[in-house]
Chain A
């Protein structure tokens, strides 16, 4: 199915910097999710958002469910080398799951 629009496609940052990535869609979703894929591994769920406007944190990660239900962002504060990987957003509505193309994050020590 149609992928979500996720940006940026890739990021190269210095350790300690903050990171922001976002996802937009032409359709509304009742759930937004963010996954991280480490090299050679399967994606792992980081944060799930269930309500428009919801802001949720998980350690150094903060994600928000856009008020229009058509977008979401993920922030990572004070990045560390193990934050390296691909971050995928996903929208879910009535058994329809759509993934973004991913943001590839590289963190330089």
Chain B
């Protein structure tokens, strides 16, 4: 158990819809990362937050947005969903800040299926 909690584990929805994925980082971690993993693909970095502020942005579509709340949990919002958005979405957390060593702790992922 990494200590990172993601909900929901599975989600099936239709094209055009909007979903929200939730992540609670490990206790004490200030940094949250979101990654997308399509079938048999690598990890595509979407976005990183540190202590509530956006820290780095990757290949995140304009239809997607995220935020990190004061209690450090994070949400990834996916809107106007397309078939190609079907993927595993991982959240990872790390200590963050000046002491960050790059060690990430991943959640079990949210599997999104768009029909």
Interface, chain A (partner B; CB < 8 A)? 1, 3, 31, 33, 35, 41-45, 48, 50, 88, 90, 92, 95-97, 99-102, 104
Chain B interface size, under 10 / 10 to 19 / 20 to 34 / 35 or more = 20 to 34
A50 vs B100: C-alpha distance in the bound complex, in angstroms? 12
Count of A-B residue pairs with CB < 8 Å = 57
A42 pairs with B45, CB closer than 8 A: no
B55 pairs with A95, CB closer than 8 A: yes
Q: Does B105 contact A (CB under 8 A)?
A: yes
B43 pairs with A92, CB closer than 8 A: no
B56 pairs with A45, CB closer than 8 A: no
Interface, chain B (partner A; CB < 8 A)? 2, 4, 33, 40-43, 45, 48, 55-56, 58, 90, 92, 100-109
Note all chain B residues with C-beta closer than 8 A to A100.
42
Note all chain A residues with C-beta closer than 8 A to B33.
97
A101 vs B42: C-alpha distance in the bound complex, in angstroms? 5
A42 vs B6: C-alpha distance in the bound complex, in angstroms? 11
